[in-house]
Amino acid sequence: AQYEHYGRVGDIKEDFDIISYEDSKGELYSSFKHASHAMLFARNDTVLWDLYKSRAAIMMQMRFDGLLGFPGGLVDPGENPLDGVNRELEEEIGLDLCKHKLQNSDQVVSFVNKSKNLVLHFYGKEVTVNDFSEIEMKTLSAPDYGNETLGMIRPPLYTMGDGYRGLPAFLSNSYAGNSRQELLIGLQHFKILEQDEIEKTRR
Ligand code: GTP
Ligand code: MN
Ligand code: MN
Ligand code: MN
Ligand code: MN
Ligand code: MN
């Protein structure tokens, strides 16, 4: 519930409600489509141009449809949401599952969109700066690179002097599902930004 307001862009509430992971497994949602996406990130203390705290490298992507989002995708028949996110990360970013497989404890938040019959699960996992770079390099040879996935990007997490460039400008892009909300939740959940820094980015 504390995250609910991140779904608001201007005064328009996006059509996603937060549900517990336990509830999402219930009978009511068994006929819904489920999808799982993940935020891989590495904390990074460097200061850019003696001015802006870098804070973290976060992996997002430009998708085939021109929208930004996290790597991940639809949970296939016979899979649970965790199996689904691990398979999709292998397909979309070439993640080495021997080293970086996500666990159930990496689940951060889940959402339901009742009008779209859709349940969305969001995972997050911290890796080292070196592992992040290695993972990022490998994305260029991932099976789905060049068709589903058009490039990994790191969101800027600082706000520049004009109050717009940086994270606020990044947040003004178009996003798949509620990945914009997920980014803000991830920043809060993993304490990558302070609460007041996140609030300031609200339009
Ligand atoms: P195919 O393999 O081509 O079927 O695609 P996919 O399985 O990778 O599915 P996709 O990643 O497009 O995600 C499926 C659903 O989740 C769609 O309804 C998207 O709008 C939504 N979606 C896509 N990216 C994200 C994201 O980062 N977060 C959330 N919450 N939803 C997303
Ligand atoms: Mn330059
Ligand atoms: Mn996919
Ligand atoms: Mn996908
Ligand atoms: Mn898929
Ligand atoms: Mn696919």
Give me 51's structure tokens. Answer: 């001015």
Closest residue by CA, ligand 1 atom 2: 73
Closest to 113 measured CA to CA, from 168, 35, 166: 35
Structure confidence at residue 5 (pLDDT): 64
For residues 52 and 143, what is the distance between their CA atoms, to the nearest angstrom? 35
The whole-number pLDDT of residue 3 equals: 66
Mutate to test the pocket of ligand 1, among 34, 148, 149, 153 (most ligand atoms within 8 A of CB): 148
pLDDT at residue 10, as a whole number: 47
Provide the pLDDT for residue 202. 73
- 81: Cβ below 6 Å to ligand 1? no
At 199 the pLDDT is: 87
Q: Angle at the Cα of 38 (from 67 to 174), degrees rounded to 5?
A: 15
Pocket test for ligand 1, best of 6, 61, 70, 144 (most atoms within 8 A of CB): 70
Phi, psi of 136 (to 5 degrees): -65, -45
Q: ipTM value, please give it.
A: 0.96
Per-residue pLDDT in tens (0 to 9) along the chain, 203 residues: 466 666 655 444 568 999 999 999 999 999 999 999 999 999 998 989 989 999 999 999 999 999 999 999 999 999 999 999 999 999 999 999 999 999 999 999 999 999 999 999 999 999 999 999 999 999 999 999 999 999 999 999 999 999 999 999 999 999 999 999 999 999 999 999 999 989 888 75
Q: Decide whether any atom of ligand 1 lies within 6 Å of the 181 Cβ.
A: no
**The predicted structure's pLDDT at residue 134:** 98
Domains, the chain, ranges and CATH? Answer: 4-198 (3.90.79.10)
Per DSSP, the residues of 159-176 read B-TTSSTBHHHHHTS-BS
Q: Which ligand is nearest to the CA of 108?
A: 1
Ligand 1: atom nearest CA of 122 is 30
Q: Is the CB of 37 under 6 A from ligand 1?
A: yes
Q: Residue for token digits 């993993």?
A: 190
Residue 111 C-beta-side C-alpha neighbours within 13 Å = 24
> Which atom of ligand 1 has the smallest separation from the CA of 74?
7
pLDDT at 7: 62
For ligand 1, what atom is nearest to the CA of residue 72?
11
Ligand nearest to the CA of 36: 1
